[in-house]
Amino acid sequence: MGFISLATWRDMTDGHLYHEGEPFPFDGREVPADRTDALESGRNRAGLRLIRRAEPENVETAVHEEKAPEKATTARKTASAKEPERKAAARARKGK
């Protein structure tokens, strides 16, 4: 099963820059389940959900769609929008 990128981000394992809507992995290689789980759940260095599962026909469609590349600030905008949510979760963990 393939995945679709949800934001513009750089894969720290191979340096590939993904744009929103592109298939992950870009070359169709096998990626360990723990790596895809981390990228899909937000348990990664960025702290963001970067990919989602896609049906095989959606992955091929994403490859062929022409889309203007977005600025690399997409992930940062998403992170700042979720900041209040993260702070509330941190307070809850501390018991406040």
Tell me the residue range of the domain where 36 lies: 2-94
Mean pLDDT value across residues 83-90: 80
pTM over 0.85: no
pLDDT value of residue 10: 93
Question: What is the tally of structural domains in the chain?
Answer: 1
Q: Is 61 left (phi over 0), alpha (psi -120 to 50) or beta?
A: alpha
1-5, 25-29, 60-64, 78-82: least confident range: 60-64
Cα–Cα distance, 12 to 18 (Å, whole number): 11
Taking only the tens place, the pLDDT of each residue in 13-24 is 889 999 999 999
Q: Rounded CA gap, 58 and 76, in Å?
A: 26
pLDDT tens digits, 34-70: 999 999 998 998 899 999 998 766 555 555 554 545 5
